[in-house]
Amino acid sequence: MKEIEVHELKEVKLRSPVMIEGLPGVGNVGKLVAEHLVRELNAEKIIDIYSYHLPPQVFVEKNGLVRLVRNEIYAWRSDGLDLLILVGDYQSVTNEGHYKLAETFLDIAEKYGVSKLFTLGGYGVGHFVDKQRVIGAANDESLIEELKKYGVEFREEEPGGGIIGAAGLLLGLGKMRGIKAACIMGVTSGYLVDPKSAQAVLKVLCDALGLQVDMRALEERAREMERVIERLKEIERAQSAELSEELEYIR
Amino acid sequence: MKEIEVHELKEVKLRSPVMIEGLPGVGNVGKLVAEHLVRELNAEKIIDIYSYHLPPQVFVEKNGLVRLVRNEIYAWRSDGLDLLILVGDYQSVTNEGHYKLAETFLDIAEKYGVSKLFTLGGYGVGHFVDKQRVIGAANDESLIEELKKYGVEFREEEPGGGIIGAAGLLLGLGKMRGIKAACIMGVTSGYLVDPKSAQAVLKVLCDALGLQVDMRALEERAREMERVIERLKEIERAQSAELSEELEYIR
Amino acid sequence: MKEIEVHELKEVKLRSPVMIEGLPGVGNVGKLVAEHLVRELNAEKIIDIYSYHLPPQVFVEKNGLVRLVRNEIYAWRSDGLDLLILVGDYQSVTNEGHYKLAETFLDIAEKYGVSKLFTLGGYGVGHFVDKQRVIGAANDESLIEELKKYGVEFREEEPGGGIIGAAGLLLGLGKMRGIKAACIMGVTSGYLVDPKSAQAVLKVLCDALGLQVDMRALEERAREMERVIERLKEIERAQSAELSEELEYIR
Amino acid sequence: MKEIEVHELKEVKLRSPVMIEGLPGVGNVGKLVAEHLVRELNAEKIIDIYSYHLPPQVFVEKNGLVRLVRNEIYAWRSDGLDLLILVGDYQSVTNEGHYKLAETFLDIAEKYGVSKLFTLGGYGVGHFVDKQRVIGAANDESLIEELKKYGVEFREEEPGGGIIGAAGLLLGLGKMRGIKAACIMGVTSGYLVDPKSAQAVLKVLCDALGLQVDMRALEERAREMERVIERLKEIERAQSAELSEELEYIR
């Protein structure tokens, strides 16, 4: 196996597709959105990417069959819009691998004549979020103007710590190749997988692409997650009550 | 020394051997089984593998002589069945090395015309296990059918975290080369070396290979380990009793 | 992208410039001084350096536009003195990258015929510092004699732990190429960004270069930082008082 | 700079020298012995080794001059015995570097026609040691027999965890080249620099080499260290007394 191995499963012809990246990250927001798109659009897998910068691991699928961890690219064609969707099990586990995999993704983007690239992610703020917000960053001003129309906020130095991993590198390295790219981030606690934030990001993305996608699966997952959070809060309250009681005894 | 150095100690002729991997891992289940086989079958070492992806370390043997840490391949021939058994001191300590060593093992498998490959391991569940279970995963459906006959369970997405290291990679990378491979895992706590789980795995493996092996050495080790666990539980009970007493005082 | 990519933005002619390094480090002393110089002298950026030894990250700038993390070299020309100033977001995150980036900086220094090199840093002593001190180290005795005149102290084996990162490597590797270099370090607590220590270093540097630079921006930042420290000390006092009270209850 | 750079400072002619390795390690036992030998024998430095597997760091020497961290080889000639002594600031910080630096040391050993190699180290047992013991391991039985005469103990699988770093690799990799090598280890707590253990190792080494070396410098350091340990024990006793008192209050 080479350092990075690109297995092309199918040749497809796409017309200036938009590339969408949704690899695992903060709150798995990007991954939830991109995988939802793949399922709802019934997109077709055209590329598998393996690399020794990914963990040395296989996953067991439903029937007991294994597969090596990987990144995948799906294609979708429609009358007005073609898409390339990048999803995967992991991002690189090495510093160098992050850069090299991002370059590989951009090579593929160039090969298919991508017109623009949206990377999806979460922006962790360290507390539970009541009102959904979506913030953005881009390597080109035209995309900033475009996304502002759909409610994406562009703030001075937000996120303050920058954008780490593929969602950021595809913008930075894409700029060097003249590929217009923006990152769309759902504000999230950063503690848990956040399908609600993913919904907000998906809405913006669909608006920007002029795309209509059934959101019920994400909505259902968001409701499940809310029940989990409610339960976590109850446990926390119970524990804190118990702790106060203990302290009473000692005092 | 090269990145990976394969020292062939002996040329042997094998007829479509089955390859068995038992490197260190969860509960050392795979290692216990493979080393038991090497000893009981009196298999012959044919290859030493050194690599700077293994720790920079030597071991001191009984007579004070040292040897570099390594992986080893043993061969065994019989009328109906030939085996290649892979054991070793460590797995790779680098991400990249895991992939590269697995490729090296597969190169050797191909050179000897391996008919199928069994990787052995433990599946850590985080609590002591009363009833021994053996679960499996494979890169080919025929092996799943075959192993089910011997009581191996194939469950939906189990193990949930996938299979990490050589036991997994040999399946994933083996698939790319058309080598049929299955992983046989003994369910174990994951806290301690587990010869009892190793016994269960060995039994399945022997059934699948039509092999008869004396199990007494493993049984003896399992009994020793049970005494260790009993002692650990006593200490734990004593400590917890002591702690309650202390709390009485404070309250 | 190559391992290290040097993007020359502009060709400039410099006469035996002095190179100044101020990458992030202890108390960010060096970075504060070098960035202050770039701003006050209105130096011109001539080189961007990208590398996969830097974190896989982009920063979001005021307008929502991103840029890849990088190291930068600025040039400044005046009648009596030309400067090359090296600043950046990060130092290497890999051991090897530290050496390779330092070599790249020295290649640039040689290309421009640098006459000498000053690296700037902080020397963390683990407690708040009342009286500002500046200590030095060099790869050539003539620079030690020169800097002593401006109040830089050269002490036996100080800093005891040596100098880590670019500030040290440029001296050590520079020596091998015959480039005279000294490191000027402001003594600092090592806990916080320290603009006051930066002021002391800047003063020495300006004296050594015969340069006049407006220091008000650094002074203002030092005053802000003092207010932060005052507040931190208050919180600490309050917490320690509260803790004593709690202990009273228990006793 | 290359991955590993060998700077030969002086050509010397040696007659089948014995090579001695004393790089930093457990209790710094090996380093103390080797540096003591270099000083007392007034050995001459012939080689500097630099590498980006060593930390990115310079040390400041007495006069304020810096030098890059490095490994060094000294030569010493006498009527009956020639020596090559390997000392240094650090061992490799990468797994791969450990192997590559050890190979470099062996290349030098071969170039000078080394007759045998002694690596020096400490064997940490986790408690203070009253009676000094020296244990050994070797890659050749003749060296085991030789060292036993001087009181070196060779025990079954001791040290149990093997020997890590240069002290072990030079034996393991040396064996592959036919270089006879033994490791001489002083038993030590592993908590502190241990000049007393170093004395014991030095004594064995001198006996084995038929060498007479003034030990007073090491003895003086051992006495200093004992005062440090005495002081540490007092502090510990005081703290434990204080803790008991506190608990009385609460109870």
- Asked if C250's CB is within 8 angstroms of D60's CB, the reply is no
Q: Where are the domains of chain A?
A: 4-214
- The SS3 assignment for C139 reads coil
Compute the average pLDDT of residues B15-30. 97
Q: How far apart are the first and last CA of chain B?
A: 65
Count Cα neighbours of D189 within 13 Å in the Cβ-side half-sphere: 13
Q: What is the pLDDT of residue A247?
A: 66
Select from B1, B55, B57 the Cβ nearest to the Cβ of D103: B1
When the pLDDT of each residue in chain D is averaged and rounded to a whole number, the result is: 94
Q: How confident is the model at residue B161 (pLDDT cuts 50, 70, 90)?
A: confident
Please, which contacts does B139-143 make with residues 24 or more away whose CB atoms are closer than 8 Å? B139/A65, B139/A66, B139/B171, B139/B172, B139/B174, B139/B175, B139/B179, B139/B180, B139/B181, B139/B182, B140/A65, B140/B175, B140/B180, B140/B181, B140/B182, B141/A63, B141/A65, B142/B180, B143/B116, B143/B180, B143/B181, B143/B182
pTM of the predicted model as reported, rounded to 2 decimal places: 0.93
Among residues B113, B111, B114, the alpha carbon closest in space to that of B6 is found at B111
More confident residue, D235 or A7: A7
Q: Where are the alpha helices (DSSP H) in chain C?
A: 29-41, 95-111, 141-148, 166-177, 195-209, 216-250
Q: How confident is the model at residue D250 (pLDDT cuts 50, 70, 90)?
A: low
Q: How far apart are CA B218 and CA B240, in angstroms?
A: 33
What tens digit of pLDDT does each residue of A76-98 get?
A: 999 999 999 999 999 999 999 99
Establish whether the linkage from the previous residue to A56 is cis, with ω within 30° of 0.
no
More confident residue, C213 or D130: C213
Q: Which of B53, B62, B66, B246 to mutate to test the interface with D (most CBs of D within 10 A)?
A: B66
- Asked if B68's CB is within 8 angstroms of D172's CB, the reply is yes
Q: What is the pLDDT of residue A115?
A: 98
- Asked if D57's CB is within 8 angstroms of C163's CB, the reply is yes
Q: How far apart are CA C9 and CA C59, in angstroms?
A: 20
β partners of residue C134? C186
CA C23 to chain D, closest CA, distance in angstroms equals 14
Residue C54: φ, ψ to 5°: -90, 160
What tens digit of pLDDT does each residue of B136-149 get?
A: 999 999 999 999 99
The architecture CATH gives domain D4-215? 3-Layer(aba) Sandwich (3.40)
Q: How confident is the model at residue C182 (pLDDT cuts 50, 70, 90)?
A: very high
Q: Which residues of A touch C55 (CB under 8 A)?
A: 95, 164
Burial status of residue D11 (CB atoms within 10 A of its CB: 0-12, 13-18, 19 or more): exposed
CA A128 to chain C, closest CA, distance in angstroms equals 24
Q: How far apart are CA C218 and CA C225, in angstroms?
A: 10
What tens digit of pLDDT does each residue of C69-118 get?
A: 999 999 999 999 999 999 999 999 999 999 999 999 999 999 999 999 99
Q: Which residues of C touch D60 (CB under 8 A)?
A: 137, 157-159, 162-163
Q: Nearest-CA residue of chain C relative to D67?
A: C172
Query: For the domain bounded by B4-214, which CATH number is listed?
Result: 3.40.50.10900
Q: Nearest-CA residue of chain B relative to D251?
A: B250
- Asked if B58's CB is within 8 angstroms of D137's CB, the reply is yes
Q: Is D168 on the interface with B (CB under 8 A)?
A: yes
Q: Residues of chain A whose pLDDT is less than 70?
A: 246-251
Q: Which of B60, B91, B96, B249 to mutate to test the interface with D (most CBs of D within 10 A)?
A: B60
Here the ipTM equals: 0.91
- Asked if B56's CB is within 8 angstroms of D164's CB, the reply is yes
Q: How many CB atoms lie within 10 A of CB B142?
A: 11
DSSP state of C52: T
In chain B, what are the helix, strand and coil shares in percent, each to the nearest 5? Answer: 40, 25, 35
Q: How far apart are CA A60 and CA B123, in angstroms?
A: 13
What tens digit of pLDDT does each residue of D92-138 get?
A: 999 999 999 999 999 999 999 999 999 999 999 998 888 999 999 99
Residue with the two structure tokens 């003195």: C81
Q: What is the pLDDT of residue D246?
A: 67
Residue B48: φ, ψ to 5°: -110, 135
Q: Is A59 on the interface with B (CB under 8 A)?
A: yes
Q: How far apart are CA C214 and CA C207, in angstroms?
A: 13
pLDDT > 90: percent of chain C: 83
Task: Tell me: pLDDT of C164 over 60.
Answer: yes
Q: How far apart are CA A183 and CA D242, in angstroms?
A: 58
Q: What's the order of all strands across the beta sheet hosting C163-164?
A: C163-164, D57-60, D66-68
